[in-house]
Structure 1
Amino acid sequence: MTGRLVQAGAPGLRAVIYARYSSEMQSAASIPDQVRICRRLCDERGWEVVEVFADEAMSGATHLRPDFQRMLRAGEARRFDVVVAESLDRLSRDQEHVAGLHKRMTFLGVSIVTKAEGAISELHVGLGGTMSALILRQLAEKTRRGLEGRIGKGKSAGGISYGYRLDRQPLPDGSFTTGDRTIDPEEAATIRRIFERYAAGASARTIAIDLNRAGIPAPRSGGKGSGRWSFSTISGNWKRGTGILNNELYIGRLVWNRQRFVKDPATGKRQARPNPASEWIIEEVPHLRIIEDELWSRVKHRQGAIREDILAAREDNPGAPHVERGTGPKHLLSGLVACGCCGASYIMISDSRYGCSAARNRGTCSNRKTIPRMLVEERVLGGLRDRLMHPDLVAEFIAEFQRATQSERLEALAARGEAERKLGKVRREIDNIVTAIANGMFHPSMKAKMDGLEAERVDLEARLAEIPEPDPVAIHPGLSEIYARKVADLVAALNDAETKPEAAAILRRLIGKIVLTPDATAANGHAIELYGELGAILSLCDNGIDTNTKARSVATGLRQVTLVAEAGFEPAAFRL
């Protein structure tokens, strides 16, 4: 049942204003201007502005905008009656999102009004969404055409590669040139050093460690990068042309349009897709050359030899996982183990031992200790079996779960009870008026009173429909025993070749991270701390709970209580 849609022209409504500008290229003053226009519209119609939502430098092609999402939540809480914006495209430029917003607000009884279009209807949603989609496509095509023109002139199409800096020259009109680059002598010397060392036989990992030890700033050290050299910064991806050793700009060749970006409609995030070589745009820019052809050829020859060795090794071992095929973690705890000294990941530095990736690949951590993979797995499994299965810990968690769910249930019951009491009162008043009319006591004022009561009844019934009947809190009395049996079964399954893949996937969901810290007094020279989710562990027990009791699902109903952050679950981490 939907809420009653308020009349957009009625005075006394609670209004919220939404404003947005799409990129940092636009002026931030756009937000106050939009708000001022919307406030004037609200004043003219006698509406009270209760809140203003604004997203700065956010594209209208995505709905994952912080204040836009806050506005939706406020609507769900029925804190306003009308949404006001400068125009429909300020709310969204995506057809799907515009239609979804209109549908949701209509269900909640909220109107959408803009200065440009007035009250928004299905017609505006259809035509406006189509026009916004066309504008976005045209804008993308114009942007691409402009960038292609800059490439044709040998200018930058966005971003400056390591080894160069902007070269802005004054123009007669007082402005400056844009997109021109010049070689940075210090960074160019570092690039030559990298190429020469690699051609001489040094690995990308060794070069990265030496550069970090020498204190040479890495690319993007003042921006989003880590500020440290890594082997991937140097070797990159030869197919995509990324990495210092694959940047053809260093030999005076500007290559553009190697890849394109598409946006995932579910997340709003962009994903890179490679373009065929026939679509690449290549311009010769000899004034930007840093590396001579002979040195470039030697590096490419060595890279090719390494790739041939890798391909030959794969032919000898066809069952080995290929990184580009996304086969998932190779080992039980891959990606979960971290260094207690620097926080970097512990990785396989040989076929059997873990070591700190920062110490291994960047030389920025002093932790050179290694530990056999099998020993880490044995100690972690032992910790799960002996520590997480402790009866006192499980009992305390179950008690806390019961307290939390009982509190939520009482809140839901109170909200339903209040709405039901109001609805009962309204229905009695309606019945009294109907009875009076039947007895010949009609008065013209009764019609207005009846209309108001009917509207209130519809609204209360809609609220009740949106408040679910709280499920009874029921915990299986033998949950602790079920839990212990399930974890024991998990350990056994990890030793069975047929069930190991599935059991390993379950185990990885139980563990948040594993921290390894060098400690001469600890077993194998490492202290190990295990961080996990008791909620995920208890979800193993679902199959042991009697579904006829209609208990709340332990897997979905409980709050995920970490072993390291919640009161009542000390110590802060399990030392194994």
Structure 2
Amino acid sequence: MKRWAIYARYSDEEKQNAKSIDDQVHECRAEIARKGGGDVVLTFADAGKSGFHTAQRPQYLAMVRALKERGFDALMAEDTDRLARSLKEMASLHDIAEYAGVELWTIVDGRLTMMHAAWKGISGQDFLRNLAVKTRRGLIGVVKRGGIPGGRCYGYDVAGTAKRTVNEGEATIVRRIFHEYSAGKSPRKIVADLNREGVPGPRGGLWRVSTLIGNPKRLNGTLNNPIYRGRLTFNRQSFRKDPETGRRIARENPADLWIYEEHPDLAIVDVDLWDEVQRRRANNLRGLRKLGEFRRPQSLLSGLIRCRVCGGPMTKAGAYYRCAERLNSGACSNGNGLAVERVEKITIEAVRAALQDPILIARFQKVFREEVERQLAVRRAGAGEIRKKLAELDRKIANLTRSLETGLDSQAVRERLHDLEYDRHQLAAELPNAEPKAQEKVRRMIPETHSLAAAMSANQNLAVVLAGKDTEALKLREDFRSTIAEIRSGPVDGRMTLEVDGKVRGLLQAAGDPEHVRHCWLRE
């Protein structure tokens, strides 16, 4: 009896009018009964998943795996658009099914042939492309008629389809932000004050600097969004689906395709205040571009230092490392900074001291020796296998040589003999490395403990080498960073502390007096 599998799917856009998963499965079972029956051994269903790309449909992927393993003999779906809406995906499924000897069926088309797969794949892909065009056209029509497509924007409430009204409570915050920025207050200070006062951000959480400054080119961020002066800007960007991952990627549209509509009833700030803020934003951006002409090298410890108070990262700000959460939102109480030069010096000395620890060196030498012995044991086992293969090749070569001597000469025999001799030459070259003499030579190359200690202690200029700009220095910087798991800094008993966790067998022991290292970070 034929073993059947059923696949059902609907997308987010089809929730309101598509048949449910249960309905699709029911109809597929009925169609299987009409085709002569059989056992439905597997059922796969993806709810709320697009048909454009299969990589984001877990049940579809499970179905394909079962298909490859011949877990069923035939697959039934309501229509090909339940399986895929692209030529590439539909053709791929048909090829996989054909190779596995599994039949593909749909209620609409019956058994799928290659022609069905190609035509339906093209139709599905064309449907999605036309749907996108029509959806964009409909949204543009909404804008032209005075509507506002899209989700909720801070300062406004959604009132009916594509309509917004001013939320006076949030509008007061928006006006405050514009007035304070216009008066010279920095975005960092503005968000710190808002968070300290407990004013919820646009998403209900903390305010952040990025919430205010956003991206000027894309007109997002509170200080850049023209809706606050009563102008709606639509069609700034479009979305494309990556054919490899199926993810939607935003792309900025040319400025001449942008659509502007005036909505004075939605203005929260007046035009004069808006213009003043934009002038200050432009001046600040010009200053940032000028500073950005000189590329700053990545700090040696970037991304490794964490704040002990909030647990967030500490970022380089000028000559100090400071808590990023404190800088971006003011939500962290750790306002102390770590001087970059001193923290790097102490960390380098900590790593160097740890690498000179005789216990650590002895352990490294022991682990290294054990690994060498393990590899040599593998080679010894391989030597016996190589000798067996050489003996077999010698036998085949001897047989072909006797054939040539008895007059059974042909081009094919000579080519085969040449191939066997080449294989024997290649295999014989591997044997010396597996012999006992070669293995003893490898053992003598293992460094002794005292040699390792001498080599490590000789490197007194580690800080100078790490500061270099050549390729070797950059490689050494990465190797150095790989020895550090995390650095934590923050106030303890009123004094700044610095703790370095290493990946070299636990906490790295700092050079010199540990108490001095732990408590030397007073504000300079």
TM-score (normalizing by structure 2): 0.71
C-alpha distance in structure 2 between counterparts of 1:16 and 1:478, whole Å: 63
Question: For residues 50 and 233 of structure 1, do their structure 2 counterparts lie closer, same or farther at Cα, with a shift above 3 Å needed?
Answer: same
Could you tell me which residue of structure 2 aligns to residue 131 of structure 1?
123
- Secondary structure at the counterpart of residue 250 of structure 1: helix
Look up the equivalent residue of 2:499 and give its one-letter code: A
Question: For residues 279 and 190 of structure 1, do their structure 2 counterparts lie closer, same or farther at Cα, with a shift above 3 Å needed?
Answer: same
- Encode CA deviations 1:434-467: one digit per residue, 9 max, x unaligned: xxxxxxxxxxxxxxxxxxxxxxxxxxxxxxxxxx
C-alpha distance in structure 2 between counterparts of 1:81 and 1:384, whole Å: 62
- Encode CA deviations 1:269-325: one digit per residue, 9 max, x unaligned: 2222221221111111111011001111111111122123223435xxx4326xxxx
Which of 33, 36, 41 pairs up with 2:31? 41
* 2:27 matches 1:59: no
C-alpha distance in structure 1 between counterparts of 2:151 and 2:508, whole Å: 46
C-alpha distance in structure 2 between counterparts of 1:478 and 1:184, whole Å: 79
- Encode CA deviations 1:102-139: one digit per residue, 9 max, x unaligned: 32333334332222222223212211111111101100
C-alpha distance in structure 1 between counterparts of 2:336 and 2:466, whole Å: 27
C-alpha distance in structure 2 between counterparts of 1:37 and 1:136, whole Å: 25
Q: Pairwise mapping of residues 226-375 of structure 1 onto structure 2 (< 5 A)?
A: 227-314=205-292, 318-320=293-295, 330-349=298-317, 351-375=318-342
Question: For residues 291 and 524 of structure 1, do their structure 2 counterparts lie closer, same or farther at Cα, with a shift above 3 Å needed?
Answer: closer
Does the Cα contact within 8 Å between 1:337 and 1:513 map onto a contact in 2?
no
C-alpha distance in structure 2 between counterparts of 1:31 and 1:330, whole Å: 53
Could you tell me which residue of structure 2 aligns to residue 21 of structure 1?
10
C-alpha distance in structure 2 between counterparts of 1:54 and 1:25, whole Å: 15
Look up the equivalent residue of 1:279 and give its one-letter code: L
Could you tell me which residue of structure 2 aligns to residue 553 of structure 1?
none
Could you tell me which residue of structure 1 aligns to residue 514 of structure 2?
none
Which of 93, 112, 117 pairs up with 2:104? 112
Which of 499, 505, 509 pairs up with 2:471? 499
Alpha-carbon deviation of 1:242? 0.6
Does the Cα contact within 8 Å between 1:251 and 1:292 map onto a contact in 2?
yes
C-alpha distance in structure 1 between counterparts of 2:236 and 2:38, whole Å: 53
- Secondary structure at the counterpart of residue 162 of structure 1: coil
Which of 173, 176, 184 pairs up with 1:201? 184
- Secondary structure at the counterpart of residue 191 of structure 1: helix
Q: Pairwise mapping of residues 172-183 of structure 1 onto structure 2 (< 5 A)?
A: 178-183=161-166
Look up the equivalent residue of 2:157 and give its one-letter code: R
Alpha-carbon deviation of 1:376? 4.8
Look up the equivalent residue of 1:296 and give its one-letter code: W
Q: How many residues align structurally? A: 431
Look up the equivalent residue of 1:348 and give its one-letter code: K
Look up the equivalent residue of 1:197 and give its one-letter code: E
C-alpha distance in structure 1 between counterparts of 2:340 and 2:294, whole Å: 21
Question: For residues 149 and 505 of structure 1, do their structure 2 counterparts lie closer, same or farther at Cα, with a shift above 3 Å needed?
Answer: farther
Question: For residues 162 and 392 of structure 1, do their structure 2 counterparts lie closer, same or farther at Cα, with a shift above 3 Å needed?
Answer: same
Unmatched runs of 5 consecutive residues or more in structure 1: 1-10, 169-177, 222-226, 322-328, 404-473, 533-562, 564-568
Question: For residues 237 and 71 of structure 1, do their structure 2 counterparts lie closer, same or farther at Cα, with a shift above 3 Å needed?
Answer: same
Alpha-carbon deviation of 1:348? 1.2
Does the Cα contact within 8 Å between 2:238 and 2:253 map onto a contact in 1?
yes
C-alpha distance in structure 1 between counterparts of 2:286 and 2:231, whole Å: 26
- Secondary structure at the counterpart of residue 291 of structure 1: coil
Alpha-carbon deviation of 1:375? 4.9
- Encode CA deviations 1:181-230: one digit per residue, 9 max, x unaligned: 10000000000000000000011111111111111111122xxxxx1111
Question: For residues 33 and 200 of structure 1, do their structure 2 counterparts lie closer, same or farther at Cα, with a shift above 3 Å needed?
Answer: same
Question: For residues 35 and 279 of structure 1, do their structure 2 counterparts lie closer, same or farther at Cα, with a shift above 3 Å needed?
Answer: same
C-alpha distance in structure 2 between counterparts of 1:263 and 1:524, whole Å: 49
Q: Pairwise mapping of residues 559-570 of structure 1 onto structure 2 (< 5 A)?
A: none
Deviates more, 1:180-189 or 1:27-36: 27-36
* 2:175 matches 1:192: yes
- Secondary structure at the counterpart of residue 17 of structure 1: strand
Alpha-carbon deviation of 1:509? 8.8
- Secondary structure at the counterpart of residue 518 of structure 1: strand
C-alpha distance in structure 1 between counterparts of 2:284 and 2:247, whole Å: 34
C-alpha distance in structure 1 between counterparts of 2:112 and 2:362, whole Å: 59
Question: For residues 337 and 87 of structure 1, do their structure 2 counterparts lie closer, same or farther at Cα, with a shift above 3 Å needed?
Answer: farther
Deviates more, 1:76-85 or 1:256-265: 76-85
Question: For residues 85 and 194 of structure 1, do their structure 2 counterparts lie closer, same or farther at Cα, with a shift above 3 Å needed?
Answer: same
C-alpha distance in structure 2 between counterparts of 1:203 and 1:103, whole Å: 60
C-alpha distance in structure 2 between counterparts of 1:310 and 1:290, whole Å: 28
Does the Cα contact within 8 Å between 2:466 and 2:477 map onto a contact in 1?
no
Does the Cα contact within 8 Å between 1:194 and 1:207 map onto a contact in 2?
yes
Alpha-carbon deviation of 1:363? 1.4
Does the Cα contact within 8 Å between 2:300 and 2:481 map onto a contact in 1?
no
Look up the equivalent residue of 2:78 and give its one-letter code: E
- Secondary structure at the counterpart of residue 125 of structure 2: helix
Does the Cα contact within 8 Å between 2:487 and 2:498 map onto a contact in 1?
no
Question: For residues 392 and 296 of structure 1, do their structure 2 counterparts lie closer, same or farther at Cα, with a shift above 3 Å needed?
Answer: same
Question: For residues 390 and 74 of structure 1, do their structure 2 counterparts lie closer, same or farther at Cα, with a shift above 3 Å needed?
Answer: farther
TM-score (normalizing by structure 1): 0.65
Question: For residues 278 and 518 of structure 1, do their structure 2 counterparts lie closer, same or farther at Cα, with a shift above 3 Å needed?
Answer: same
C-alpha distance in structure 2 between counterparts of 1:361 and 1:38, whole Å: 55
Q: Pairwise mapping of residues 302-451 of structure 1 onto structure 2 (< 5 A)?
A: 302-314=280-292, 318-320=293-295, 330-349=298-317, 351-377=318-344, 386=354, 392=363
Alpha-carbon deviation of 1:248? 0.6
Look up the equivalent residue of 1:39 and give its one-letter code: R
* 2:120 matches 1:148: no
Identity of aligned residues (%): 36
C-alpha distance in structure 1 between counterparts of 2:445 and 2:121, whole Å: 52
C-alpha distance in structure 2 between counterparts of 1:395 and 1:41, whole Å: 69
C-alpha distance in structure 1 between counterparts of 2:6 and 2:196, whole Å: 54
Question: For residues 479 and 93 of structure 1, do their structure 2 counterparts lie closer, same or farther at Cα, with a shift above 3 Å needed?
Answer: farther
Does the Cα contact within 8 Å between 1:520 and 1:526 map onto a contact in 2?
no
Deviates more, 1:391-400 or 1:130-139: 391-400
C-alpha distance in structure 1 between counterparts of 2:60 and 2:284, whole Å: 50
Does the Cα contact within 8 Å between 1:20 and 1:31 map onto a contact in 2?
yes
Alpha-carbon deviation of 1:371? 2.1
Unmatched runs of 5 consecutive residues or more in structure 2: 375-433, 511-524
Which of 36, 41, 50 pairs up with 1:50? 41
C-alpha distance in structure 2 between counterparts of 1:257 and 1:50, whole Å: 48
C-alpha distance in structure 1 between counterparts of 2:15 and 2:180, whole Å: 45
Could you tell me which residue of structure 1 aligns to residue 87 of structure 2?
95
Question: For residues 53 and 244 of structure 1, do their structure 2 counterparts lie closer, same or farther at Cα, with a shift above 3 Å needed?
Answer: same
Could you tell me which residue of structure 2 aligns to residue 218 of structure 1?
201
Alpha-carbon deviation of 1:398? 11
Q: Pairwise mapping of residues 161-180 of structure 1 onto structure 2 (< 5 A)?
A: 161-168=153-160, 178-180=161-163
C-alpha distance in structure 1 between counterparts of 2:102 and 2:176, whole Å: 64
Alpha-carbon deviation of 1:359? 1.4
Alpha-carbon deviation of 1:159? 1.0
